[in-house]
Amino acid sequence: MAYIYQVSFVIEPEQRSQLEIGSPLERILGYLRTLLPSFDGYINARAAYSLDDPDHIHVVVESLWITWEHLTAHRKSDIAENKVLSEFQPHVELEHMSSRIYEEVT
């Protein structure tokens, strides 16, 4: 059984360029995906953005963990997605940032 840590937020359509290769937001998401594998219990991470809402772009960042203990340790770390993205906030206003934890259905 695995555990998913999901952070989501909204950016405005005029901020879409922040998701392009080399842009600040894209770099911070790449930074997360590069550092997360060094944590015990890490399985995978991904980031995606919505295409179906012309008024807002919904961005989701997820990491997958082997056990609840691994996920808990990750959430307490300085590299937890919500902490890293919150520090990034001056570059892009992150609206309605939220975190959710899921348990995989087996």
Model pLDDT for residues 34-70, shown as the tens digit of each residue: 999 999 999 999 999 999 999 999 999 999 999 999 9
Indicate if the pLDDT at residue 9 is higher than 80.
Answer: yes
Structure tokens of 88? 């990034």
Name, of 16-25, 54-63, 85-94, the range with top average pLDDT: 54-63
Query: Containing H/E element for 70?
Result: helix 68-76
Q: Indicate the DSSP class of residue 12.
A: -
Round to the nearest angstrom and report the end-to-end CA distance of the chain.
Answer: 7
> Which pLDDT value is given to residue 68?
96
pTM, two decimals, is 0.87
Rounded Cα–Cα distance for residues 6 and 37 (Å): 16
- Reported residue count of the chain is 106
Rounded Cα–Cα distance for residues 87 and 25 (Å): 11
Rounded Cα–Cα distance for residues 31 and 84 (Å): 10
